[in-house]
Amino acid sequence: MIAGIPLLPAILLDIIGSAANIVFAFLAWRYARSLSRRQPGNFVWGYLFYVTFAIAAFTISRAVGHLVKQFLLIAGQGAIWAEISPYSGGFNTLFMISVAAVMIFYHKGVQAYQALEHEAGKLKNANRDLAAVAAQLRDLNQTLEQKVEERTEELSQSEKKFRHLFSASKDMVFFSDADNRVVDMNDSGFEMLGYCREEDSVLQITDIFADPDDRDAFAARLSLDGYIKDLNVDLARRDGKVVSVLLSATAIIGEGGEILGSEVIAKDLTRVKTMMEQLAASEKMASVGQMAAGVAHEINTPLGIILGYTQLLMDDVQEGSDPYQSLQVIERQTKASRKIVADLLKFSRQSGSTREEIDLNDILADVVAVTEHTLGLSHIAVHRQFAEGLPRIDGDPEKLRQVFVNLVNNAHHAMLDQGGGELLLRTRSENGEAVVEIRDSGHGIPEKHLAKIFEPFFTTKPVGQGTGLGLSVSYGIIHEHGGTIGVESPVHDQQQGTLPGTLFRVRLPASGSGTRQIADRFGAQA
């Protein structure tokens, strides 16, 4: 019996252990493969996959070698194992080296890759940051462009708005520089002053003021206060006429406090002045009318008595004798006085009148029939433009006939001096009113007389040729009919422009309109 330690446990452990090693190594590789497939981008799992693969190859080669060895030796085939053994050992060594190589080289490769990836990540982040900054810049740029566009559009709109305000204003607006030169003026300004925009000559503020005192006051107040509000001055037109304006101005102050120029707005007050004068005249006419009514009543009675007694005395005196002729003079003058009184009563609407529905075209036709012959003798051509369907009016035909005869006679007299002319009688309908226009081509009415022509006893005719009551009476009659009468001289025709002569425009409310309008207190409303 040989005493010794049995090697059977080592043999059994080798067999069982080798089998277990194959199982564990294979399972580990399976899990690593599953990991790397599940997360292909994870380099750690990729590394572990290759490591476990190498370990599994090594373990299997070793374990298979051990198992083959054990089973061959158990089977008594030691010689076969002796032949295989070098190859088994060689492969075992080879795989062991492979495991070490994979562990180190692949790991370093992974590290290098991770380092590269890290750098690439930093670059990617930097690129992302750059892209974000670029996007922000682009957005900012776009926003800026959009804002610039919006601001430009707003400025354009604002400029357009103020340019329109400047150019379309009916008031004079102009800018001057430090040397008092007018650098820009709107069309209304040029029109008001009678200048032409295309002219090369530079307009000076000093040229505009009619009164040197006004010019000095303008300069002094602008320099002192920096602005001027509602300064009433007269401006000189190019043709020498004077335009009354209400002027407001603001000084343009530079950064150093110096005056660089001024902005001036001037409103034409000529029309307002005319209206004020007409208003005053109208008030005066109303007073005169009341006074005339009282005076006429008082005078009418004694005149009747004088006329009655004169005619009685004429019965007692022989015809043809000197006293008779004297009494005839008294009778004639008394009758003339009574006519004046009657006209005054008509002007003050104290005389009686009838009312009926009439056609103004018929009235005008009657007037032309009566006056055309006389006008023809004075070489005055009469033109009729009677509108069809002219609204009928309620009125006194006799009184209205008298009005139009008065107006035609005035036109006749206006054209006598120039040896003839043209008279236009036109009717039309406007806003439910009947409008009658009587236009002559005479010398016209001076501007200073326009506000006075409807005043009683105002006349430009020589003494003895007119009482100055014709237009006053006409005014009273038209007023009594609820209408208005106006005058325009010279005539502003929409198609032909400004024409010499005078135009009287009578507006009368249509019949049944119920609009017996308030009398035109301003008379000259065209």
Is the Cβ of residue 99 or residue 367 nearer to other proteins in the bound state? 99
Question: According to the binding rule CB under 8 A, does residue 126 interact with other proteins?
Answer: no
Neighbours of 286 (CB within 10 A): 14
Element (H, E) at 282: helix 270-316
In the chain, what is the greatest distance between 2 CA atoms, to the nearest angstrom? 218
Backbone angles phi, psi at 321, to 5 degrees: -75, 165
- Which of 43, 68, 84, 107 is the binder for other proteins (CB under 8 A)? 107
CB atoms within 10 A of CB 178: 12
Residue 118 in contact with other proteins, rule: CB under 8 A: no
If one asks whether residue 59 binds other proteins (CB under 8 A), the answer comes out as yes
Instruction: Output the six-digit token pair for 141.
Output: 């740029």
55 touches other proteins (CB under 8 A): yes
Choose the binding region for other proteins from 2-10, 310-318, 454-462, 492-500 (rule: CB under 8 A).
2-10
Q: Which stretch binds other proteins (CB under 8 A): 13-21, 265-273, 477-485, 492-500?
A: 13-21
- Measured from the CB atom, is 102 or 203 closer to other proteins? 102
Q: Please give the C-alpha separations between residue 199 and each of 1, 191, 194, 281, 293, in angstroms, as whole numbers.
A: 150, 13, 12, 41, 58
Q: Give the CA angle between residues 142, 147, 153 to the nearest 5°.
A: 125
Judged by CB under 8 A, the number of residues near other proteins is 54
DSSP codes joined into one string, 118-170: HHHHHHHHHHHHHHHHHHHHHHHHHHHHHHHHHHHHHHHHHHHHHHHHHHH-S
Is residue 219 near other proteins by the rule CB under 8 A?
no
DSSP characters over 222-255: HHHHSEEEEEEEEEEPTTS-EEEEEEEEEEEE-T
What span, in angstroms and rounded, lies between the C-alpha atoms of 315 and 8? 196
Q: Does 97 bind other proteins (CB under 8 A)?
A: yes
Contact between 112 and other proteins (CB under 8 A)?
A: no
Closer Cβ to other proteins, 9 or 497, answer by number:
9
Of these, 40, 82, 83, 94, which contacts other proteins (CB under 8 A)? 94
3-state secondary structure of 23: helix
105 touching other proteins, by CB under 8 A: yes
Q: How far apart are CA 285 and CA 222, in angstroms?
A: 43
Q: Does 90 bind other proteins (CB under 8 A)?
A: yes
**Does residue 308 touch other proteins according to CB under 8 A?**
no
Stretch that binds other proteins, among 30-38, 296-304, 444-452, 518-526 (CB under 8 A): 30-38
| Contact with other proteins (CB under 8 A) among 40, 82, 83, 101 | 101
As measured in angstroms, the least distance from the Cβ of 124 to other proteins is 22
Tell the smallest beta-carbon distance from residue 14 to other proteins (Å). Answer: 6
Within 8 A by CB and 6+ apart from 428, the residues are 387, 390, 435, 437
Q: Determine, following the binding rule CB under 8 A, whether residue 82 of this chain makes contact with other proteins.
A: no
Nearer to other proteins, 104 or 130 (CB): 104
Name the site residues for other proteins (rule: CB under 8 A): 2-11, 13-14, 16-18, 20-21, 24-25, 27-32, 34-35, 38-39, 45, 48, 51-52, 55, 59, 73-74, 76, 86, 89-90, 92-94, 96-97, 99-101, 103-105, 107-108
